Amino acid sequence: MIDPDEIAREAFFRLRQRRKAMAVAGETPNWGVDPVGWVQRRLGETIWSKQRDILESVRDNRRTVVRASYDVGKSWSASRLAAWWLDTHAAGSAFVVSTAPTFNQVRAILWREINRAHAKGKLLGRVNQTEWWIGNELVGLGRKPADYDPTSFTGIHARYVLVIIDEAGGVPAALWDAADSLVSNADSRILAIGNPTDPSSKFADICKPGSGWHEIGISAFDSPNLTGEAVPPDVSAVLVSKLWVEEKRNDWGEGTPMWTSLVEGRFPEEATDSVVPLAWATRCRVAPDIEPLPAMDEANELGVDVGGGGDETVIYHRMGPRAKLLWHGITPDPMVVVGQVINAIRDTGATSVKIDVIGIGWGVVGRLKEQFEQHVHGAEIYGVNVAESPRDAEKFHKLRDEIWWEVGRENSRPGLWDLRGASDATIGQLISPKYSVDSSGRIKVEKKDETRARLGRSPDEADALLLAFYNPVEAPDPGELYNITECLNTRCLRLFVFDPGRRCPYCGTPCGDKRNPKKY
């Protein structure tokens, strides 16, 4: 069978030979075959080795996928490719389309860089926030998935189409096919780049051998700042640093999913038994396109994990969906913790504080309750004992399991909370615990000690975060509120207002002397 990629490579090879001959003969260089030279000379910029690999791969392969760590210049490379593509094809014959999971990512990351490249190279046409126009013709645009169904791609009919998928891990599967259909001819190209966070994504699939994509992996250890590759100081300053890697080694630990994905640029193994999978947690750290307006009745609360021994004490704040790490430190003195909590109440105006009472937390709760009585502060103080029984004893083993599941997992899965204010260490801890199901079908979350053994530290920050979002006040049972009883006759089971000695108005069965709560 004829491989179209092979034909494309062959054609490029021949073209390059011809262009080389032309260059030797003293004619103007043809940047079309040399994106790296184009960036260096037209824009006067420096490209490091892995960025060179990306540019040359897009020149030589129809499909390129890049999985990489943070801050290695992925988006930058994509923006330079976009500018190179439009500058080196005849106007009207080429088109660039870019996408990312949110509009904010499209505009603030890739198109900002495209704007810069356009200005630097004094390139043809004009670029606005997400579009590139030459004369009256649209030659480039950025869109986020919801902005178009696949059909709005149909307007694009250029011979040379370059499709860029930034932050590819979060792009919905349907979009991939639409994007792929745009590059059906041998002259078009597609580039997908992102952090490898979700091993079950389409992005992960195309990184596997045999997918037909040319794959490039970039780890933080490839960065010029770690290899010693020579780059000018201004480039070195913006790329991932040795210090960052050391910080993450401490925050996450080697071999953890966060480390594998965001430092080494590899997909973590699919852990189907994580309470909070990495991909869910990282999605909660992406700026939404529309920031929700703060509502008047947003919950304004604190969660405190009090560390005994050498463990950290951590205070987390929650305002509506937004989480923020307020304070953490190691202190042997519970009264220092009390002082910090009072400061935090004053700074945030929090109306309630939930504190883990196990260990020295007990004393902290007692003192803060006293101070509430003395009007030192106005926040309701709740001691939470996670070793107690859960509310839903059929589903969970202990309250701790219930909190990890209902607060940690159920807020992360649909992206209900906003974790941009949480620290990297907190996210590392949040995704760490695994769960199992016991013989009676109840969910058990890995014990703190087991997590501690794996992480090399206790997940105190994640615990404080969960407490900040945990509601210690059980919602009142509407039956109790309105004194509703369920008929004791199992063939009736109808509901009516309870009164001792009363009979069911439907079947006449006496309702006894105690309300019979309805079991859902």
Ligand X SMILES: Nc1ncnc2c1ncn2[C@@H]1O[C@H](COP(=O)(O)OP(=O)(O)O)[C@@H](O)[C@H]1O
Residue numbers of the site for ligand X (CB under 6 A)?
45-48, 51, 68, 70-76, 109, 113, 235, 238-239
Closest chain position to Mg ion (CB): 75
- Smallest separation, CB 220 to ligand X (Å): 10
Which residue's CB is nearer to ligand X, number 229 or number 450? 229
Closer residue to ligand X, CB minimum distance, 74 or 397: 74
Q: Determine phi and psi for 164, rounding to 5 degrees.
A: -120, 125
Segment contacting Mg ion by CB under 5 A, of 72-80, 175-183, 256-264, 317-325: 72-80
| Cβ closest to ligand X, residue 8 vs residue 109 | 109
Token duo for residue 275: 């309470």
Q: Which is nearer to Mg ion, 80 or 89 (CB)?
A: 80
Q: Which does 76 bind (CB under 5 to 8 A by kind): Mg ion, ligand X, none?
A: ligand X
- Count of alpha carbons within 13 angstroms of residue 138, beta-carbon side: 10
Sign of the alpha-carbon dihedral angle for 177, 181, 184, 190: negative
Using CA atoms, how far apart are residues 79 and 217, in angstroms rounded to an integer?
A: 18
* Greatest extent of the chain over all pairs of C-alpha atoms, in Å: 109
Minimum CB distance to ligand X, residue 260 (Å) = 17
Q: Which of residues 230-249 bind Mg ion (CB under 5 A)?
A: none
Q: How far is the CB of 168 from ligand X (least distance, A)?
A: 11
From 20-28, 67-75, 266-274, 298-306, span contacting Mg ion (CB under 5 A): 67-75
Under 8 Å between Cβ of 349 and 302:
no
- The Cα 302–Cα 376 span in angstroms is 17
- Whether 109 contacts 257, CB under 8 Å: no
Segment lying near Mg ion (by CB under 5 A), choices 74-82, 168-176, 306-314, 328-336: 74-82
Radius of gyration of the chain (CA): 29
Report, in Å, the least distance between residue 232 CB and ligand X: 8
How far is 238 from 224, CA to CA, in rounded Å?
11
Is residue 451 close enough to count as binding Mg ion by CB under 5 A?
no
Question: Which of the stretches 20-28, 69-77, 200-208, 397-405 binds Mg ion when contact is defined by CB under 5 A?
Answer: 69-77
Burial class (CB in 10 A: 0-12, 13-18, 19+), 53: buried
Tell me which residue of 41, 21, 126 sits closest to 84, measured CA to CA.
41
**Residues in contact with Mg ion, total (CB under 5 A)?**
2
The secondary element (H helix, E strand) that includes residue 130 is none
Give me the least distance between CB of 14 and ligand X, in Å please.
30
105 binds, among Mg ion, ligand X, none (CB under 5 to 8 A by kind): none
Q: Which is nearer to ligand X, 64 or 458 (CB)?
A: 64
Instruction: Choose among 131, 141, 125, 147: nearest CA to 182.
Output: 141
Distance CA 220, CA 314 (A): 29
Q: Could you tell which of ligand X, Mg ion, none binds residue 235, using a CB distance below 5 to 8 A set by kind?
A: ligand X
- Other beta carbons less than 10 A from residue 488's beta carbon: 14
Place of tokens 């824009």: 43
What is the closest distance, in whole angstroms, from the C-beta atom of residue 228 to ligand X in the complex? 16
47, interface contact from Mg ion, ligand X, none, CB < 5-8 Å by kind: ligand X
Q: Which is nearer to ligand X, 67 or 398 (CB)?
A: 67
Which of helix, strand or coil describes residue 316? Answer: strand
| CB of 194 or CB of 459, closer to ligand X | 194
365: its two tokens:
């709760």
Q: In angstroms, give the least distance from the CB of 74 to Mg ion.
A: 5
The span from the CA of 411 to the CA of 378, in Å, is: 28
46 binds, among Mg ion, ligand X, none (CB under 5 to 8 A by kind): ligand X
The residue number with the shortest CB distance to ligand X is: 73
Which residue do the tokens 């998928």 mark? 165
- Name the residue nearer to ligand X (CB basis): 86 or 117: 117
For the bound state, the minimum distance from the C-beta of residue 75 to ligand X, rounded and expressed in Å, comes to 4
- Closest C-alpha among 180, 184, 225 to residue 70: 225
Nearer to ligand X, 48 or 267 (CB): 48
Q: What is the DSSP letter of 324?
A: E
Of the two residues 19 and 52, which places its CB atom closer to ligand X in the complex? 52
Restricted to residues 329-388, the positions that interact with Mg ion (CB under 5 A) are none
Minimum Å gap between C-beta 193 and Mg ion is 7
Choice from 64, 75, 197, 352 touching Mg ion (CB under 5 A): 75
Phi, psi of 484 (to 5 degrees): -95, 135
For residue 156, the number of C-alpha atoms closer than 13 Å in the C-beta half-sphere is: 27
Tokens of 146: 């919801």
Q: How far is the CB of 166 from ligand X (least distance, A)?
A: 7
Q: Which residues bind Mg ion (CB under 5 A)?
A: 74-75
